[in-house]
Every structure is written in structure tokens, then in C-alpha cells.
Amino acid sequence: MGFIKEFKEFAIKGNVMDLAIGVIIGGAFGKIVTALVTDVITPIIALFTGDPEKFNDVKLGPIKIGLFMQAVLDFIIIAFVLFLIVKAINRFKAKTPEAAPAPSATEALLTEIRDELKKK
């Protein structure tokens, strides 16, 4: 019964929902970036290579690398935007004050002596 109880606590805490929402938003964001690369950036690159379809047929020897280059560009854009989002979120997070350093042995001893003197 312990395993089922642990799973229930895990699912109810919201971890599963947070993960599901992240995956859904990530998929939608991936589609946006793919459209950006395919419909905006690739035609700009095609201005230099000639035909937009040529970008997909870019070869390095016998190896077609055009689609791979497009996937790498998608990844770089997604990673950069996510970096900016995380950076912005971290800026708005409440900063937790640093904990005061623990008193030295001498200070602890003096505090004890003071407390004992107050009792008398």
C-alpha cells in the first residue's frame, strides 16, 4: 500500500500537471520556432543560395545536411528563447535573504555567559 500512497501524493502535488503543461507548451513553442525557421529564416538564407528548396538540398559531399542545419537552427532558437525566459523569471523571483553566519565558538560562549548572568 505504501507505493500507491506515494504515487498518489506525487500525482496530487502537481508535479505531474506541471510536467504535462510544460510538455504541451514546449510542443506548441517548437511549432512556432519551426514555422519561424521554415517561413522566415530559410527564405532569407535562400536569397543567398538562390532557391528556397535548394536549402533543403544542401549537401556536404554525398551527405544531405540542409534539413539537419534547419533542425540545429530550430534548436538554437528554442534554447536561446528559453534562456531569456528563465533569466526573466529569475529576475522577478523574490530573493531570499542570505542566512546569517553561525556565531563563532567565542561568540557562542559569550552568549551563554550573558544568558546565565541575566538569569541571576
Name the band, by pLDDT with cuts 50, 70 and 90, for residue 21.
confident
Share of the chain above pLDDT 70, in %: 88
Tens-digit pLDDT profile for residues 64-108: 787 788 778 778 887 887 788 878 877 877 677 777 788 888 988
Distance, in Å, from the CA atom of 56 to the CA atom of 59, rounded to the nearest integer, reads: 9
Give the model's confidence band at 14: pLDDT under 50 very low, under 70 low, under 90 confident, else very high: low
Task: Read off the pLDDT band of 9 (50, 70, 90).
Answer: confident
Cell of 43: 527564405
CA dist., res. 105 & res. 29, Å (int): 55
Global pTM value:
0.50
Listed in order, strand segments (DSSP E) in the chain are 59-60, 63-64
pLDDT above 70 for 61:
yes
Q: According to the model, what pLDDT value does residue 51 have?
A: 66
Q: Give the model's pLDDT for residue 78.
A: 78
User: Rounded CA gap, 120 and 114, in Å?
Assistant: 10
Q: What is the mean pLDDT of the chain?
A: 79
